[in-house]
Amino acid sequence: MMEEEFYASLKFKSGEEVFSKVSVCDDEEEILLLLLHPIVISSVKSREGTVGFKIEPWLKTSSDDTFIVRMDDILTISESNNIDMIMAYESYTRQIDKSKSNYSKIDRKMGYIGSIDEAKELLEKIFKDT
């Protein structure tokens, strides 16, 4: 059974801190958390002394935007009502969704699509002719 979504800061037992939109999924065996676009926020200080924030995806090598986490892996979770944090998170997720929608699907109109064997034969023919 899924409960409604909320914004939260999560601290994992591993020490990682994440901000995300969270849904709680109460399975019969255990409680699972569904994290939507989890982000890591770090403070950055410029040479002039100005402090800002850097927002990065939690998992940089994954193109997924939803992750399932066991509640057993969480040290603490705190629901967030911080408007600045929520607005920064929403802005980040809009940019991510917009950049994903700019990719086009590959089709035959874009150019020649062939097999590896065909490409290998073509390259061998070119090599032999030179």
**pLDDT tens string 65-114:** 899 999 999 999 999 999 988 999 999 888 887 776 655 666 666 666 67
pTM attached to this predicted model = 0.68
pLDDT of 26-38, one tens digit each? Answer: 877 888 999 999 9
Asked if residue 1 has pLDDT above 60, the reply is no
**For residues 68 and 38, what is the distance between their CA atoms, to the nearest angstrom?**
11
Return the structure tokens found at 127: 């090599």
CATH 3.30.413.10 given to domain 6-103: no
